[in-house]
Amino acid sequence: MSGAAGSIFIVVAPSGAGKTSLVAALLKAEPGVELSVSFTTRAPRQGEVDGQHYHFVSRELFERMIADGDFLEHAEVYGNYYGTSRRWIAERVAAGHDLLLEIDWQGARQVRAAFPEAVAVFILPPSLPELEKRLRGRGTDSEEVVARRLSEARAEIALAPEYDYLVVNDDFERALGDLRALVRTARLRAAQQQSPVDAILAEGVSA
């Protein structure tokens, strides 16, 4: 067999748990993992670059893309649409690349239904007061948005047991180490690496 498909990692967390910071650090530490750039109708935050953090699109375009079946999954989160390109995922995973999807819980369920072998990870904050502190500390969202995200966080945390792995983001470096361990473990799965078996058998036996 040749051309094993790559792994799909789904990372979910309540807003403010540190998902974006952890994923950025993970991609740096494990350069073979590629991030899926989502489409969204949310306005860019300060410093966010179109095509890098998100593909920022209008509601009209997003709705046309839904109708055209362009999304592997999509969901409405805090009043904005978010979605993952079906074609990009299919092409990159078939080419053997490891992909990471930073999506919400609704999207995670849709992706797991399409790719049951995907590795689903939930990032937990150490506590709700700490989550609130981080959300406010980030300074990117209005008071109204922070309040809404906090009230959603409880319900989202209750869904954590449906994931394959839980990572608590208390000490950042430790949580990063946990994520790296998951990536490395997935790469060791037999289905990901037929080539060493082929190489050993191709050599034959001399005795």
> What part of residues 136-175 is at the interface with ligand GDP (CB under 6 A)?
none
Asked if 95 contacts 6 with a C-beta cutoff of 8 angstroms, the reply is yes
DSSP bridge partners of 77: 80
Segment contacting ligand ADP (CB under 6 A): 15-23, 87-95, 151-159, 181-189? 15-23
- The mark string for 45-84 relative to ligand GDP (x by CB under 6 A, - otherwise) is ----------------------------xxx-x----xxx
- Write the burial class of residue 152 (CB in 10 Å: 0-12 exposed, 13-18 middle, 19+ buried): middle
CB of 116 vs ligand ADP, minimal distance in Å:
25
From candidates 7, 102, 121, 122, binder to ligand GDP by CB under 6 A: 102
Segment contacting ligand GDP (CB under 6 A): 1-9, 13-21, 123-131, 170-178? 13-21
Please identify, using beta-carbon distances, which residue of 136 and 189 lies nearer to ligand ADP.
136
Start-to-end CA distance of the chain, whole Å, equals 27
Task: Tell me which residues touch ligand 5GP (CB under 6 A).
Answer: 15, 38, 40, 42, 73, 75, 77-78, 82-84, 102-104, 106-107
Identity of the residue numbered 70: D
Residue 187 CA, distance from chain mean position: 17
Q: Is 137 marked as a binding-site residue?
A: no
d(CA 25, CA 127): 22
Residue 25's H or E segment, with its range, is helix 19-29
CB of 161 vs ligand ADP, minimal distance in Å:
19
Torsion on CA atoms 38, 43, 49, 54, rounded to nearest 10: 0
Closest CA to 37 of 25, 20, 22: 20
Report if residue 41 touches ligand GDP, rule: CB under 6 A.
no
From candidates 16, 85, 107, 183, binder to ligand ADP by CB under 6 A: 16
Binding site members for ATP: 13-20
**Site of interaction with ligand ADP (CB under 6 A):** 13, 15-21, 134, 137-138, 169, 172
